[in-house]
């Protein structure tokens, strides 16, 4: 990794790579069907900022070859295997891919961490003519009230000052991101799971702001939040619906 990359890569997830792999939700198959339909051919897909491969494995079922990159070696080590996927540890801005080889470039829950001008230049370098680029993000999980109100209150209250500034781009659903490409209209998608309280807590533990709070002031407010969440949840084994609406920026390179 070059000095420049070391300086620009904001590593919020290497230390929780195992938890990220275990507790982050999976993407819907319909999303990947749509992404595949935007590509000129289903040859090569580049999943940048792939994390532990939640989207990569679905792309592997649609494309002949998937090159999945992440700047975190720990995330790559935890990634899900698939015969069509080649995982590489590489920054978004210097992928190491060959020129003019990619049919679909995608970054899921990752583009807000990138040096976007440099990433876009890399996309243009590796893309085939008329290749597609998709940036995908999701914000807070949605649950039934009053549980939802407690989760949203913790997010925007005690945790608010601990979120990195890039989180505002997620909250804005990437609408404020510069996107100098011919845009493609996309349908609405969402991720749906049925989780126990422990599964929801496992997901919340992957939040970068929660870890920043713990490092700064300890876990007192975090444990208070979990106690209130547990009181409202009732039986910890009870399964509840959890939903994340997805936001997309899709374009033609």
Range 172-196 average pLDDT: 96
Report yes or no: 132 and 34 within 8 Å, Cβ to Cβ.
no
Q: Which residue has the higher pLDDT, 148 or 5?
A: 148
The average confidence (pLDDT) of the chain is 91
- Residue 243: which domain range? 3-252
- Cα distances (angstroms) measured from residue 118 to each of 8, 50, 92, 97, 210: 11, 18, 8, 14, 30
pLDDT exceeds cutoff 50 at 65: yes
Interatomic CA distance for residues 228 and 40, integer angstroms: 50
Its pTM surpasses 0.85: yes
Q: Supply the pLDDT for residue 75.
A: 85
> From CA 224, how far away is CA 230, in angstroms rounded?
10
Q: Which of 170, 191, 161 is nearest to 25 (CA)?
A: 191
Total count of domains within the chain: 1
Q: At residue 236, does pLDDT exceed 50? A: yes
Q: What integer pLDDT is reported at residue 132 of this predicted model? A: 98
CATH of residue 164: 3.40.50.150
Q: Is 233 helix (H, G, I), strand (E, B) or coil?
A: helix
For residue 183, report the phi and psi dihedrals to the nearest 5 degrees: -75, 145
In this predicted model, what pLDDT tens digit does every residue of 80-139 receive, in sequence order? 999 999 999 999 999 999 999 999 999 999 999 999 999 999 999 999 999 999 999 998
pLDDT tens by residue, 9-40: 344 344 444 554 566 788 999 999 999 999 99
């Amino acid at each position: 990794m070059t000095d420049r990359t070391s300086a620009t890569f904001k590593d919020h997830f290497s230390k929780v790579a195992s938890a990220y792999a275990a507790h982050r939700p999976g993407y819907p198959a319909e999303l990947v069907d749509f992404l595949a339909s935007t590509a000129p051919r289903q040859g090569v897909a580049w999943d940048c900022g792939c994390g532990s491969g939640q989207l990569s494995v679905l792309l592997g079922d649609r494309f002949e070859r998937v090159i999945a990159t992440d700047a975190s070696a720990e995330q790559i080590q935890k990634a899900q295997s698939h015969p069509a996927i080649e995982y590489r540890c590489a920054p978004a801005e210097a992928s190491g891919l060959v020129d003019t080889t990619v049919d679909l470039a995608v970054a899921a829950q990752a583009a807000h961490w990138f040096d976007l001008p440099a990433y876009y230049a890399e996309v243009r370098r590796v893309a085939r003519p008329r290749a597609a680029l998709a940036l995908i993000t999701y914000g807070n999980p949605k649950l039934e009230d009053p549980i939802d109100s407690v989760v949203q209150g913790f997010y925007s209250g005690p945790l608010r000052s601990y979120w990195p500034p890039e989180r505002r781009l997620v909250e804005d659903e990437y609408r404020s991101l510069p996107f100098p490409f011919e845009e493609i209209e996309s349908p609405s998608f969402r991720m749906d799971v049925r989780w126990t309280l422990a599964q929801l807590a496992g997901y919340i533990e992957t939040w970068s702001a929660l870890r920043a709070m713990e490092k700064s002031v300890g876990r007192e407010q975090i444990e208070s939040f979990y106690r209130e969440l547990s009181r409202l949840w009732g039986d910890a084994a009870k399964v509840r619906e959890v939903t994340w609406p997805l936001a997309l920026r899709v374009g033609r390179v």
